[in-house]
Amino acid sequence: MELTSEERAILAGERGEAQQRALEYQVEVGRFWGAKRFVPVSNVHMMGDIEVMGDGGLAWLKDTAARGARCRVATTTNARCVDFAHCERLGQNAIEVGKERELIATLRRMDVVTTDTCINYQTVYQPHLGEHVAWGDTGTVIYANSVFGARSNFESGPAALAAGITGRTPEYGFHLDEHRRGTFAVQLNAKLDDLADWGAVGKLVGESHQDYFAVPVFHGFHRIPTADELKHLGAALASYGSMGMFHFVGVTPEAPAKLPPEGMTVGDREIEAVYAGYNLGDGDARLVVFSGPQQSLLEMKRLAELFRGRKVQGSCFVTTNSAVLAQSRDLGYAQAIEQAGATILQGVCFYILQDLSPMRERNRWKNMVSNSAKIVNIIGAHRFNTILRRTADCVEIACSGKLQ
Amino acid sequence: MLRKIAVERAYGPLVEGEALVSEEGFSPRYDLDRWTGVITKHGHKLEGLSIVDKVCFFPTAKGGIAAGWAFYDIKWKKIAPKAFIFGVTNPVMVQGAVFAGIPITAGWSPQPRGVVRTGDWVRVDPARRTIEVLR
């Protein structure tokens, strides 16, 4: 790689051991991908909690902090595995909860801003066209690349933290023009009235084109989509297809004037087939989840409208971040959701909750119903049978106890 | 004749080990029991097999950002494989493997099918970007 004098100084240890180690690691990753140089990043978003890191990761983090590691650019954290206000009631292991507190304190010592959100792009930081950032989880990356026209690869926890410490990332993948061009076209001939419909589009397109470097170009839609709709589309594309970018003609800043030749069409029939494709098992309707990604304020408003005056039969979880939750309380949305018997969890995502498998066994949950195509896909390792339903249908299932 | 596979991209020191060849992709989060190193995802083509100390051949990488910490975690628990050999991979797998110091390669020619079978003893040489089947 071509290194600047500053980068050579860092590698020589002139900026301390923490920066040196972080840059050495980044050089190896950059070499693998054939990166020619580093690009400066202005914002970092990292995943780091005890469920994903384990004891080894926590030990490494404490050691790194002790070596003087501090983030040079604003570095925020993704959703985590414990909401301390609810961990006892959820039966999460007290020892692991203690480690999570230790982990958060260590990150703060390194000047990491523990926002604990996977919707940083809606609530914390909105990069501009062409801005290089180092983000993860995948839903944040695809939103940054596609909707803002910013530039990021999927940056895992250690890679994002290294970028925070050195203020740069290797230039490969979506930092380069050549990987940002659309590779196939998708005509949208469907109504897509609900957020779950957008996730279903992401499932259909992602499953059939699984490739980090595949970039779909959506066109032909009858109206302008909302931010929450693009959020569910992107999260599902990233989850089912491992994709990091899409274009939407007339909507996203880098959408091409000319469509790529290869194409597919998604209509109402294909969307209905997605919903019809789930095995309902024994009809267990005792777990409904609104999570993955966390809910925006406008999603909270809609849930409040749907839940107002109703009663949840089994268990229902809604996850969001502290900022959205505070505003939802001010506006009465949170109260309406909680009065219906749903539990709002702050700063977490349902699928990475510490001790989720034992929780499932204790509650004898079999099915998990959600309006998020992403969580329906990724929670499989915890052996839930998962079912995607539209938002209003999810609320109806939660309150009637009947799955259809 | 020596059976050999050329790889496009590679990281890590030279290692030798027993091959575990999969026709299905892999995620340390979706497919693996991170306490035993056994693939436990129901219906995975390697369900019930251990990746510990193996040279693992996978056609694709699955999973998201959380996989980045998982390789370090399994190395810490001493249940890591000797190397990951991917057909197609994504940045998270590479970032995770480099972070854990586990050799990783991507892109292969020819495909492993017909060249290497589970149980063969193989040598992974990242510097020369080759994989050789020794026996």
Q: Are residues A37 and A118 in the same domain?
A: yes
Q: Are residues A201 and A242 in the same domain?
A: yes
Report the pLDDT value the prediction gives residue A39, as an integer from 0 to 100: 98
Segment 110-129 of chain B within 8 Å of chain A by CB: none
Q: Are residues A17 and A100 in the same domain?
A: yes
Chain A residues near residue B96 by CB distance under 8 angstroms: 156, 158
Bond prior to B112 in cis (omega within 30° of 0)? no
- Which of A33, A135, A242, A354 has the most B C-beta neighbours within 10 Å, making it the best mutation to test the interface with B? A242
d(CA A127, CA A148): 6
d(CA A375, CA A369): 10
Q: List the single range of A93-97, A210-214, A268-272, B106-110 with lowest mean pLDDT.
A: A210-214
Do A79 and A117 contact (CB within 8 A), yes or no? Answer: yes
- Smallest CA–CA distance, residue B125 to chain A, in Å, is 14
- Closest residue of A to B8, CA-based? A32
Report the pLDDT value the prediction gives residue A148, as an integer from 0 to 100: 98
Average pLDDT on A238-256 reads 96
- Closest residue of B to A159, CA-based? B95
Residue given tokens 């590698």 in the structure block: A11
For residue A221, pLDDT beyond 80:
yes
Chain A residues near residue B95 by CB distance under 8 angstroms: 29, 155-156, 158-159
3-state secondary structure of A386: strand
Contact criterion met (CB < 8 Å) for A159 and B68: yes
Report the pLDDT value the prediction gives residue B27, as an integer from 0 to 100: 85
Of A177, A192, A211, the domain-final residue? A177
Chain A residues near residue B94 by CB distance under 8 angstroms: 29, 32-33
Do A275 and A200 contact (CB within 8 A), yes or no? Answer: yes
What is A345-363 written as a DSSP string? EESB-GGG-TTHHHHHHHH
Q: Are residues A357 and A380 in the same domain?
A: yes
Interface residue A24 vs chain B (CB under 8 A): no
State pLDDT tens for residues A56-84.
999 999 999 999 999 999 999 999 999 99
- Kindly state the tokens that stand for A226: 């909302």
Domains in chain A: how many in total?
3
Q: Are residues A361 and A381 in the same domain?
A: yes
d(CA A99, CA A93): 10
- Smallest CA–CA distance, residue B24 to chain A, in Å, is 13
What is A195-259 written as a DSSP string? HHHHHHHHHHHHHHT--TT--EEEE--SSPPPHHHHHHHHHHHHHHH-----EETTTSTT--SS-
Report the pLDDT value the prediction gives residue A207, as an integer from 0 to 100: 92
Q: What is the dihedral angle through the alpha carbons of A25, A162, B35, B105, rounded to the nearest 10 degrees?
A: -40
Chain B residues near residue A48 by CB distance under 8 angstroms: 69
3-state SS string for chain B = CCEEEEEEEEECCCEEEEEEECCCCECCCCCECCCCCEECCCCCCCCCCECCCEEEEECCECCCCCHHHHHHHHHHCCCCCCEEEECCCCHHHHHHHHHHCCCEEEEEECCCCCCCCCCCEEEEECCCCEEEECC
- Smallest CA–CA distance, residue B113 to chain A, in Å, is 21
Show me where the domains of chain B are located.
Answer: 3-133
- Closest residue of A to B93, CA-based? A156
The set of residues, in sequence order, having a beta carbon less than 8 Å from that of A323 and lying 6+ positions away, is A117, A123, A124
Chain B residues near residue A28 by CB distance under 8 angstroms: 11, 98
Kindly indicate whether the ipTM for this predicted assembly is greater than 0.85, answering yes or no: yes
Report the pLDDT value the prediction gives residue B1, as an integer from 0 to 100: 64
Interface residue A116 vs chain B (CB under 8 A): no
The DSSP bridge pattern shows strands B121-125 and B130-133 to be antiparallel
Contact criterion met (CB < 8 Å) for A159 and B11: no
Of A137, A159, A177, the domain-final residue? A177
Interface residue B94 vs chain A (CB under 8 A): yes
Contact criterion met (CB < 8 Å) for A242 and B62: yes
Q: How many residues does chain A have?
A: 404
B3-133 maps to CATH 3.40.50.300: no
Q: What is this structure's pTM?
A: 0.96
Q: Are residues A9 and A67 in the same domain?
A: yes
Contact criterion met (CB < 8 Å) for B95 and A242: no
Do A62 and A106 contact (CB within 8 A), yes or no? Answer: yes
For residue A337, pLDDT beyond 80:
yes
Q: Are residues A167 and A192 in the same domain?
A: no
Domain limits for position A64: 5-177
Interface residue A121 vs chain B (CB under 8 A): no
Do B116 and B3 contact (CB within 8 A), yes or no? Answer: yes
Average pLDDT on A85-112 reads 97
A287 membership: H or E segment, kind and range: strand A287-290
Average pLDDT on A190-205 reads 98
The CATH number that applies at residue A316 is: 3.30.499.10
Q: Are residues A42 and A146 in the same domain?
A: yes
Q: Are residues A158 and A13 in the same domain?
A: yes
Do A123 and A323 contact (CB within 8 A), yes or no? Answer: yes
Q: Are residues A214 and A107 in the same domain?
A: no
Q: Are residues A199 and A301 in the same domain?
A: no
Report the pLDDT value the prediction gives residue A243, as an integer from 0 to 100: 95
Chain B residues near residue A29 by CB distance under 8 angstroms: 91, 94-95, 98
Contact criterion met (CB < 8 Å) for B91 and A156: yes
State pLDDT tens for residues A116-137.
999 999 999 999 999 999 999 9
The set of residues, in sequence order, having a beta carbon less than 8 Å from that of A292 and lying 6+ positions away, is A118, A235, A319, A349, A350, A351, A370, A372, A374, A375, A378, A379
Report the pLDDT value the prediction gives residue B135, as an integer from 0 to 100: 85
Put the strands of the sheet holding A247-248 in their side by side order: A247-248, A216-219, A184-189, A263-267
The DSSP bridge pattern shows strands B83-86 and B104-109 to be parallel
Of A248, A275, A302, the domain-final residue? A275
Interface residue A36 vs chain B (CB under 8 A): no
Report the pLDDT value the prediction gives residue B62, as an integer from 0 to 100: 79
Q: Are residues A293 and A247 in the same domain?
A: no
Q: For a pLDDT cut of 90, what percent of chain A falls above it?
A: 97
Contact criterion met (CB < 8 Å) for B99 and A25: yes
Number of A–B residue contacts, CB under 8 Å? 115
Query: For all residues of chain A together, what is the average pLDDT?
Result: 97
Instruction: Name the residue type at position A101.
Output: R
Q: What is the pLDDT along chain B (135 residues), one digit of tens a residue?
A: 679 999 999 999 999 999 999 999 888 887 888 889 999 887 889 999 999 999 999 998 877 888 889 999 999 999 999 999 999 999 999 999 999 999 999 999 999 998 999 999 999 999 999 999 998
Residue given tokens 């050691």 in the structure block: A63
